[in-house]
Structure 1
Amino acid sequence: MDVSVIGITAEAVEVYRYFLRNRGEGVGSVRQALGLDPDSIEAAVESLDRLSLLDLTDRHKVVATEPSIGIERLIERRLNELNTEIRRVLSARDAIATLVEDQKHGEAVTSVLDIERVEGLDRVRQRLDDLGFFSYKETLCLHPGGPLSRGAIETALPLDTRSLRRGLAVKAVYHPKALDDPLMAAYLRDVVGLGGQIHITEDPMDRMVIFDRSVAVVPIHPKESARGALLVREPGLVSQLVTYFDGVWADATDFRDYTEPSDDKPHLSDLERKVLAVMATADKDEIAARELDVSVRTYRRYVADLMSRLGAVNRFQAALRAKEENWI
């Protein structure tokens, strides 16, 4: 028999049954008859009184309510409570329409490109610091133009150190003009010494920083980086910027090779070496450019530069001299 669903405890049931069997007995007789401690008896008696199952007008002559009346009343009250709860639960369906509208609003917002505009150099630096702190894989950077300011270097070195010590890959490409400043050159040597990867290129490039290949930061205005930056999280755009970075990186020269060139080999980028390798074998510029995955115009520009540096009058002669000089 389980009547706990209508609020009657096991001890209260025993006390109630006692008074049903022993009409007119007092509260004091329960302890001796049931072997319960006084506190449990008192709690059970008070509970039965609240449930209207006992009449305690005279505690020395307790009257138990007839079960068909008392228990039925409690069942009816509990059913009313359950019906009220069911109606409350069903009323939650009314929230569906409102929540659907919120969903539609969210879909409309996310349909806009995920690009955040951050204005002011200080705010940009703070956001870069935050993005670098929460990155877990790598940081990719392109730095066109000259050296960083002393303040920028003092800010950047601790951030790079922290990232490298956390196991992140730091890859950055700089223009040779950056090396004109001894402080900047020392900074780059420190980064390389800590495990960072630095490349140098004379080719034009756009300023950007990419975190974990998922967030790209580019200037609002390409020639006025102090105005602010755009934080791009749109996957399609970030993917294109990563591809652009990878291309610039592949064509650039390692920092050590650029600053400490060997005696037997010239300063050549990876792409220049590939151009030399196909110059003597490709019948047409279009075929060579396609093989190198560059435009015909770019290929011809590299060929002309290499022929000039080798002092060759044609491409075949340039390829031969490159082998003789141990360029390839």
Structure 2
Amino acid sequence: MDISVIGVPADALEIYRYFLRHHGDGIGSIRQALDLDPDSIEAAVDTLHRLSLLDLTDRHRVMATEPRIGIERLVEQRLNELNSEIRRVLSARDAIASLVEDQQHGENANSMLDIERVEGLDRVRQRLDDLGFFSYKETLCLHPGGPLSRGAIETALPLDARSLRRGLAVKAVYHPKALDDQDMVTYLRELVGLGGQVHITEDPFDRMLIFDRSIAVVPIHPKESARGALLVKEPGLVSQLVTYFDGVWDAATDFREYTEPSSDAPLLSDLERKVLAVMATADKDEIAAREIDVSVRTYRRYVADLMTRLGAVNRFQAALRAKEEGWI
């Protein structure tokens, strides 16, 4: 029998049953009849008195309340407590309407594009410094203009060195105009020496920075970068900008090859070597592109360029000539 649900623990129940059987016995008789320590007896007796199951007016002549009265009263009391709790629980439904309003407010807020506008060169530089400091994977940069100023170089090199020491990849694409300044060339050589990757391309491209392939920074106005920048965090937009960067990067030439072209066998990029390796083995362009993890369009562009450079009329011949020339 367990009536702890109405507040009567096992020790108290045992003592209550004792006094039901032994009308008028005193508290002292319990210690002799039951195997309970004095402290447990006192605690249980106090509980029974509080629940009105024992009358302790005379502790030498204790009277137990009739079960049909005492227990029934406790059951009713417990049911009232449970009903009150049920009403409190059901009242929680009243919060649904208010919470739905909060949800709708959040959904409406999230429907706005996650693009931050930062105006002024000082604020932009501060935000770029913060983004670079908290990046953990890589920094991608497109720099279509001429050389950086001496001050910009002095600021950029320590930041790049810090990122590379932390294990981040730093990949940057520059236009040949940036190489017109010797300080700029020295900076790029130092960057490459520290482990950075630099490519050069004469093709037109737009200015852009991407941090960890999750935050892109583009100028507010493409022709007036001093006006400020837009920090784009929308995954769909950032993904498109990353794809754009990868296309520019793949089509560009390695900085060392551009500045110091080899007179021997042409310096091939890792991707060009991969393309040559699969040209003669893959049955379809889709399979080849998937094998080296590039788009079909990028793969076909590389194939066409390599065939022209090798003077080959088909891909199999291009692969053979690449081996003959020692390209692979």
- Per mean C-alpha deviation after superposition, the further-off stretch among 84-93 and 123-132 is 123-132
SS in 2 for 1:92: helix
CA distance in 1, matches of 2:58, 2:118: 80
2:177 maps to 1:143: no
Partner of 1:248: 248
- TM-score of the superposed pair, with normalisation by structure 1: 0.73
Partners of 1:47 and 1:156 in 2: CA distance? 77
What's the counterpart of residue 283 of structure 1? Answer: none
Q: Secondary structure of 2:189's partner?
A: helix
Specify the code of the residue in structure 1 equivalent to 2:170. V
Aligned pairs for 1:86-97 (under 5 A) are: 86-97=86-97
Do the aligned partners of 1:253 and 1:268 also contact (CA within 8 Å) in 2?
A: no
Q: Identify if the C-alpha distance between structure 1 residues 123 and 26 changes in structure 2 by more than 3 Å, giving closer, same or farther.
A: farther
Whether the 8 Å CA contact 1:251–1:269 is kept in 2: the answer is no
Note the C-alpha offset of 1:186.
3.8
Tell me: CA distance 1:35–1:193, structure 2 relative to 1, closer, same or farther (3 Å).
same
1:200 has 2:200 as partner? yes
Q: Counterparts of 1:123-272 in structure 2 under 5 Å?
A: 123-149=123-149, 152-264=152-264
Distance 2:267 2:179 in 1: 16
| CA distance, structure 1, for counterparts of residue 48 and residue 238 of structure 2 | 71
Q: Deviation digits for residues 48-95 of structure 1, max 9, x if unmatched? A: 121111112222222211111111111111111111111111112222
Aligned to 1:308: none
Cα distance, 1:87–1:265 mapped onto 2, change above 3 Å? same
* Amino acid in the other structure paired with 2:6: I
Quick one: distance in 2 between partners of 1:84 and 1:164? 64
Query: 1:149/1:27 Cα in 2 relative to 1: closer, same or farther (>3 Å)?
Result: farther
1:256-291 Cα distance to aligned partner (Å, 9 max, x none) = 112322235799999xxxxxxxxxxxxxxxxxxxx7
In the alignment, what sits opposite 1:281?
none
1:102 alignment counterpart:
102
Deviations 1:162-193 (A, max 9, x none): 44344433211123344455554344333323
Extract unaligned runs of 5+ from structure 1. 271-290, 294-298, 300-325
Classify the secondary structure of the residue corresponding to 1:25: coil
Matches within 5 A, 1:35-50: 35-50=35-50
Distance 1:148 1:39 in 2: 86
Distance 2:59 2:120 in 1: 82
Alignment of 1:3-152 (within 5 A): 3-149=3-149, 152=152
- C-alpha displacement of 1:39: 1.5
Return the alpha-carbon distance in structure 2 between the equivalents of residues 43 and 130 of structure 1.
64
TM-score, length-normalised on structure 2?
A: 0.73
Cα 1:150–1:144 shift into 2, 3 Å: same
Counterpart CA distance in 2 for 1:62 and 1:187 is: 98
Answer yes or no: is the 8 Å Cα contact 1:119–1:227 preserved in 2. yes
